Every structure is written in C-alpha cells, then in structure tokens.
A and B are shown apart, each in its own frame.
Chain A
Amino acid sequence: MVSASDGAGPAMLARKPAGRARRRWRGRLGVFAAQLALLALLLAAWEAATRGAAVNAFLFGSPGAIASALIAAARDGTLFTDTLVTGLETLAGFVLGNLLGTGIGLALWYSRFVSRVLQPFILALGSIPIVALAPIVIIWFGTGFASKLAMATLSVVVVSLVIAYKGALGVDPDQINLMRSLGADKHQIFRHLVLPASLTDIFAGLKLTVGFALVGAIIGEFMSSDEGLGHAIFKAGSLYVISKVFAELAVTVALALVLSALVHRLERALLPWRHDLQ
C-alpha cells in the first residue's frame, strides 16, 4: 500500500518501509489517544454532574464511586472469582454449543433428506427466546454451574448450527464437480473442500456466538446463582447500589472484549491464507 506522496524519489524509496511502519504506528497511537480522551471527557462530565447535584448520584452512580466499588471487589476477591466463574461458564457453553452446532450443521450437509426433515424443527428451536427457557433449565439442571452451562450452550447452538449449515451449502457447485472429476468420494469432498470452505463462515459464527454465550451465562446467573458477574449485578441492582452495578458491568464488558480478542487470535492462527486478517 503505497500512496502517491511516497514516490518522491530514490531517497524516499530507501526509507519507505521503516517510514510506513512508523506512520502506521503513529496513526494507531493517535486514534488510541483520542479514544482515551473521549472516555476521560465522558467520565469527567459524569463525575462533575453528580458532584454538582445536576444528576442524582444515588440513581446514576458516579465514576469515583464505581472506581471504589471496583477496588473493594478486587480487595475482597469477589471480582476475581465472579469473573472467573462467569468466564468459565461462558467459555464452556461457547465451546460445547459450537461443537454441537457446527457438528450438526455440517452433518446436515451429508444428507439433503435429513436436513429437509429437520429444517422446521431447527427453525422452531431457533425462534424460542432463550430467556424463556431459563426457568425450566434451572429446574432441570439446578442452580449451579450446569444450568449456566446449559443456558450458554442453548444461546449458541442454533445460531452456530445454521451458520455452519449455510456455510457448507454455500460451497461452489463447480468446485464440487471438480472434486468429483478428480475421483473424490463424498467423504473426501467433505474433508478437502466443504469443511475448510465452511471455516470462514464458522469463524464469523464464533465471533458472534461468544457474545451470545456470555448473555446466556448471565441470564442463568440472574435466575438463580450465588456467584458470577450476573449474580453480582443482580444483587447490587436489587440493593440499589448503582455504582456497584456499573462496576460489575464494566468488568463484564472487559470479559466480552477479552473473549472476542481470543477468538480473533484463534482465527488468525487457523486461517493463514486469509491475508485480510493478517
């Protein structure tokens, strides 16, 4: 990527790679600084508004109180354990849901008949709001880890299934004909063509469903739990400790960002041919 202004002469040419890297780095730094400034400005306005009593600190919290709530939660260890619990529930549900969903979705490619039979059932399952299942899930799986895992898994599985199935169906028929002309059987077509071709879609699904898994886990914790970020948010909310709610929310957002970043890393590592990702 060389812009017109780069081609100014031999001296410029020699320096170009280092200059380009430096300029890109400087560009990123600039964006990051602007983002930090914006965040600081918002927090400062919020803090000033609550101090000046223009906004009710009891109802809306304040950055200072949120910070103290974070420090308190970090000191007594609940910040760490809650994050760990919710993180594990989310991760386990994410992995299980995607394994099941992707597995079934790709398996449906094998049999057009089975997929046509199952289609209305999958659609029905997909249109159930997962929140509505929470009471039954608590009854079936109890109030511990298993029910949160089930909620996270359920939030993921249908989306993942549909994405994998659509990905497998989207493979170019000419490409399938080429494989057949080379003598490939159905299993070989699946292994060498359909599976890798679906990976792009499957990874798009992973990025989407990591958020869904977190939502599922938190809903499960809202229903019934004694630890986790959802538990902490729910409890603080019912006690009107708004700053504590915001503190736990901030941690939840951070957890979501970390999980998405992990999926992105995984995609880059597993799809080396996608130059747009590198």
Chain B
Amino acid sequence: MSFARTIAGGGRAAGEIFAATDLGKSFGEDDAAPVEVIRSVSFALARGEIVSLVGPSGCGKTTLLNLICGLLAPSRGRIAWFGRPLAGTPERVGYMLQKDLLLPWRTAVENAELGLQIKRVGRAERRARAMGALERLGLAGFAGFYPSALSGGMRQRVALARTLAPDPEVLLLDEPFSALDFQTKLLIERDTARLVREEQRALLLITHDIEEAVSLSDRVIVLSRRPSRVITEHRIALPGDRTDMIQAREAPDFAHYVRTIWNELELH
C-alpha cells in the first residue's frame, strides 16, 4: 500500500483532511414550506483520525453524508476537502453504506475492482489490487463467488474491499456494520480501525450505535433531532490498543462516555 501523499493546495491546517462550516440543507426550497433537515453542522476531520457522528434516527445523517461526498448540494455553508472547496465528488474518498450494494452479476473480486475499473485502471493492476483488498479481509478464497453465495458478513467485507481497493485516504461509512452479528461486527471494526490508524487514513463514521461510536472513535459528535445541529463533541480518551474493540469496552471510562452520550440524545 502506498504511503506517498501528494500535498497540494498550501495554507491548510496541518493534517486537516475535511472541514464543514455551518453546513445546512433544506429540501423543497422553492416550495412554500421547505423541510429543513440540517440547520447548522460544523466539524473537521484530520489524518489518522476516526470521528463518529451519532444522532437519533431520522436526524438527517445520511443527508449529511451525501452533502459531504458531493452527491447533494448544500443549501448553506462550506465544505472543504484537503483545504479546497468541494467541486463534484471528492477524490480519494471511499463511501460505504449499511446496504452492501454489491452488484449481483459480478463475482466478489469483480465487485471489489469496480472503483478501479471506473477510474480506468488497467485490467491486471485492478485485479491485483482488488485481490489484495480481499486477502487483507480474509476473503481470498471467495474471490470467484457471486454475492448470492456469500453470507451477510462476507458480503459486507467485499463491500469494504471495494471501498479500500482504490486506496482512499478517507473512508465515509454510513452505518456499515449495523446489519452484522456482534462477533462479525467487532472483527470488521477492528480491521477498519487498523486500516485507518496504521496507515494514516481518516474515517468518518455515521452511526446510531453509541457503543460502536465510543469504542472506535477519537471524537464523537452528537447531533440533535431534525433539523440537526451539533449538540456536543466528545474527545474519547481510552487507554490501550485502540484497534481492540473488546478492550475498549472494558475500559473504566467506556460506560461513562456511553451513558453521557445516551443522555444527550435523550434530552435533545
């Protein structure tokens, strides 16, 4: 995996990958009664960092994600990627949802190489990189399987391999693990945390699972009900190996963080 990072666009904060400033979104703005989904959200994401956005269901988390990766245009506010304003969809950003969205007519490895194929990477190279991503997630033996022959956890890993194969610097994940059983979830969370922490990528995780947010993240940003705004931002300081999801749960402060965030979600 390449560590070479091209530093372009000077004048940005050191290591800052992403910044949203006073972001707002309303739907149906031309109508008499527009629906305001996001009122004002500001936050930043730095290299090597894992940040979670938690909020009550229906708080516009997915809308926020679509704004961040340029699939929707904001009504207000600014988005900057790598210090430059967002135009189109950002480069070197991998996006993954709760639904694995695998293409049923492609085998696991063909699904994993989709992003590379779209970027017109040559056949041999994209196959090699997709195989590498599958191997890393323990799926080398299943490369030739169609998604219909894989279990839910394996399908989600293939989706993760598809996200990782183009070697993104930033991962944007929208409840990617919520359909998995507990054990599989912890294993994939561990793999993901390693990828981010050991290779100085960055991860923005949208979730409603408070335990997941606390065990995985450096910071947890709590959003209010619709129209969403930031209620608080918690810096999570847990001792030990931060890629070990069980160890994180055993830390003395873990329950405290979870309860505090839970209370905040209750109140707002």
Contact = CB atoms under 8 A, between A and B. Distances in A.
Given A180-B71, A181-B69, A175 B148 contact: no
Given A172-B101, A196-B103, A196-B105, A184 B93 contact: no
Contact of B99 (A174, A193, A196, A199): A174
A261 interface: no
A192 interface: yes
Contacts of A174: 97, 99, 101
Given A175-B101, A177-B66, A193-B103, A275 B117 contact: no
B71 A273 contact: no
B114 interface: yes
Shortest Cβ-Cβ A-B pairs, 5 listed: A181-B95, A182-B115, A273-B146, A184-B118, A273-B105
Interface in B140-197: 146, 148-149, 166
Contact of B95 (A178, A272, A275): A178
Contacts of B101: 172, 174-175, 178
Chain B binding surface SS class: loop
Interface string B58-99: 000000001001010000000000000000010101010101
Given A182-B115, A192-B118, A275 B148 contact: yes
A179 B69 CA distance: 12
A80 B139 CA distance: 56
10 contacts: A175-B101, A181-B69, A181-B89, A181-B93, A182-B95, A182-B118, A273-B104, A275-B146, A275-B148, A275-B149
A273 B108 CA distance: 12
B5 interface: no
A271 interface: yes
Contacts of B256: none
Nearest to B72: A177
A178 B97 contact: yes
A77 interface: no
B241 to A, nearest CB: 31
A129 interface: no
Contacts of A183: 89, 91, 115, 118-119
A56 interface: no
A174 B102 CA distance: 11
Contact of B71 (A177, A193, A275): A177
B240 to A, nearest CB: 34
B97 A273 contact: no
B133 to A, nearest CB: 14
A188 interface: yes
Contacts of A273: 104-106, 146, 148
A272 B105 CA distance: 8
Contacts of B114: 182, 192
A194 to B, nearest CB: 11
Contact of B118 (A172, A179, A199, A272): A179
Contacts of B97: 174, 178
A133 to B, nearest CB: 37
A196 B110 CA distance: 14
Most A CB contacts (10 A, CB to CB) among B66, B69, B103 go to: B103
Nearest to A184: B118
Nearest to A196: B105
B105 A271 contact: yes
Interface in B41-70: 66, 69
A188 B118 contact: yes
Contacts of B117: 192
Contacts of B119: 182-183
A273 B145 CA distance: 9
Contacts of B99: 172, 174
Nearest to B88: A183
